Amino acid sequence: MSFFEKLKNGLKKTRESITQRIDQLLVSMGKIDEELFEELEEILITSDVGVETTLKIIDDLKLRVKSEKVTDPRQVKNLLKEEITSILSSGDTGLHLNTKPSVIVVVGVNGVGKTTSIGKMCHMLKMQGKKVLVAAGDTFRAAAIDQLEIWAKRAGVDIIKHAEGSDPSAVIFDAIQAAKARGYDVVICDTAGRLHTKKNLMEELKKVFRIISRELPDADIETLLVLDATTGQNAVSQARTFAEATGVTGLILTKLDGTAKGGIIVSIKSELDIPVKFIGVGEKIDDLQPFDAASFAEALFS
């Protein structure tokens, strides 16, 4: 099965939530009027596209309908598809890993799929010919270290780990030293998803970044925030919190295949302007794929 087919299948619930309801609306409406836009607005908001983003999309649609003299309600769907593609296309969706070593710091709350995303990224980068080292920086949860080691073995990459409860920054420090000494191309750093308070968690993350900056002052660093698509609008608030604390460079959106809330991807990109770099639509090691806005919109509206 091609990834587009996986994506199309993965977006089935979201497509039912958004596209099928839009199709029914446009078929039932004889003309383009304020009632049509109000109904469309309700569909988008209830599909987790978000109020602010929805209002912007509706305003842009009204302008385009007027300027392009569109009269057939069925043409509105294609205009909407173009608007969503435009929102998702802005920004750099590629990874910048040109230094040796480069660093990927993976952040996010517990349960969103951080560990599996790291494992899948390891596999992807190894397939690209890169020598990858994983740093098990989530030392506050014993299971996190064990799970990450399983994924590292599955992907065929090396791992640096300390005992549960160790200082995460010490793990990152050791991994960086190993990477410099042994010629690794990429260091992927796992981080804690939960400490006693949000403030403690963010302070711990800042400490990790200080270590990286001190030991690799000229390295390319990607900070990828993993978000669970099934959490809907809660993912937006998570993205905002982490972006303020760590300067997130990109998003990994997981569990798209298990939710009707895939519209959240549009909301996050529009409101926070953080590019989506990867999406997950399955549990297999190759089910994490680089994000492509045109393919996503095509799969959503097909």
pLDDT tens per residue across span 241-281? 888 888 899 999 988 776 667 788 888 888 888 989 998 87
The C-alpha R_g of the chain, in whole angstroms, comes to 21
**102-292 and 3-89 share a CATH fold:** no
Average pLDDT along the chain: 89
Joined tokens for residue 195: 């400490």
Of 62, 73, 67, give the one whose Cα is nearest residue 22.
73
Q: What pLDDT sits at residue 3?
A: 65
Q: What are the residues whose beta carbons fall under 8 Å from the beta carbon of 174, sequence distance 6 or more?
A: 135, 160, 162
For domain 102-292, give its CATH number from 3.20.20.70, 3.30.450.20, 3.40.50.300, 3.60.150.10.
Answer: 3.40.50.300
| Residue 150: Cβ within 10 Å count | 13
CATH architecture of 3-89: Up-down Bundle (1.20)
Query: Concatenated DSSP letters for 16-46?
Result: HHTHHHHHHHHHH-SS-SHHHHHHHHHHHHH
Q: Which residues are annotated as a binding site?
A: 108-115, 190-194, 254-257
What's the CA gap between 272 and 234, in Å, rounded? 14
Structural contact between residues 88 and 293, judged by C-beta atoms closer than 8 angstroms: yes
What's the CA gap between 50 and 34, in Å, rounded? 20
What's the CA gap between 20 and 3, in Å, rounded? 22
Q: What pLDDT sits at residue 268?
A: 87
Q: Which residues are annotated as a binding site for GTP?
A: 108-115, 190-194, 254-257
Domain residue limits, the chain = 3-89, 102-292
| Phi and psi based region of residue 282 (left: phi greater than 0; alpha: psi -120 to 50; beta: remaining) | left
pLDDT tens per residue across span 71-110? 888 889 999 999 999 998 877 778 999 999 999 999 998 8
pLDDT band at 155 (very low <50, low <70, confident <90, very high): very high
Q: Which residues pair with 132 in a beta bridge?
A: 186
Is the pLDDT at 4 greater than 80? The verdict is no
Longest dimension (CA), the chain: 69
